[in-house]
A = this chain, B = another copy of it.
Amino acid sequence: MNIPDKVVNRLTMYHFILEDIRDDEKYISSTKFAELLNIDNSQVRKDLKYIDNQGKCRVGYEVKTLKRKIEECLGFKKTKDAFIVGAGNLGSALAKYDGFKDYGLNVLAMFDKDIKKIGTVINGKEVFDISKVGNLASRLDVEMAILTVPREYAQGTANYLAGAGIKNIWNFTTCILDVPKDVKVWNENLIGSFLQFTNKDKDE
């Protein structure tokens, strides 16, 4: 089933909320989600229809079931292995963040071209020479790279990754990558995110 991006995003946030529910609370209402996320109640109910979950009248959604269904629907348990390419500030911060694993993202190793970084280990992830990425990608069957190199190296690195068999690039740089058709890029546009926030602020 094709779930729209915005719905995937909200389902994840419903899951964050469910994580914080006290053990003795068995049910949660759509109103609770709506209030915390500052969205319409009807939006919540529409979103939750995607995961085939029935809320009970006056009682709400059963917390454990809803949590499990979101996990199944979004594939938290189907682990995706990935490399972090660029062991700078952001790459290292992402490598040190253990939360990804709970949602199915498993970072196996890091890559850089800086000889001072190669061989170091960041939160259990070894930093390898970028020239080894193709070899390790095929040996470990990794198709996903998280790109955190400086902007000016982004396109060159993307070319290299494409040649090394990487099929999915989660791009944290502000360079829009020109890649072969069989490589998918997901732009993590923090600048755009900030501008969405501030432009919203301006309107009100």
A interface residue numbers (CB < 8 A to B):
2-3, 5, 8-13, 16-17, 19-20, 36-38, 74-75, 80, 89-90, 92-93, 96-97, 99-100, 103-105, 151, 168, 170, 174-178, 184-203
Do A192 and B8 have beta carbons less than 8 Å apart?
A: yes
> What is the bound-complex CA distance between A104 and B5, given in angstroms?
27
| Dominant SS among interface residues on chain A | helix
Q: Work out how many copies of this chain go into the complex.
A: 2
Expressed in whole angstroms, the Cα–Cα distance for A130 and B150 within the complex equals 31
Given contacts A20-B175, A174-B99, contact A104 B13 (CB under 8 A): no
CB distance from A63 to the nearest CB of B (A): 15
Q: By the criterion CB–CB under 8 Å, are A196 and B103 in contact? A: no
A104 touches B151 (CB 8 A): no
Indicate whether A151 sits within 8 Å of B96 (C-beta atoms), given known contacts A9-B192, A75-B198: no
Contacts of A177 in B (CB 8 A): 36
Task: Please tell me if the beta carbons of A199 and B36 are within 8 angstroms of each other in the complex.
Answer: no
Given the known interface contacts A12-B195, A194-B170, the answer about A89 and B96 at a Cβ–Cβ threshold of 8 Å is yes
30 CB contacts below 8 A, A to B, read A5-B196, A9-B189, A9-B192, A9-B193, A9-B196, A10-B192, A11-B192, A13-B176, A36-B177, A37-B176, A38-B185, A89-B92, A89-B93, A89-B96, A89-B97, A90-B93, A93-B93, A99-B191, A104-B194, A104-B195, A104-B198, A105-B194, A168-B197, A168-B201, A170-B193, A170-B197, A184-B197, A186-B196, A186-B197, A186-B200
Residue of B nearest to A148 (CB): B93
| Among B93, B176, B202, contact of A92 (Cβ-Cβ < 8 Å) | B93
CA distance A195 to B76 in the complex (A): 8
B178-A36 in contact (CB<8A): yes
Q: Contacts of A193 on B, CB cut-off 8 Å?
A: 9, 170, 186, 188
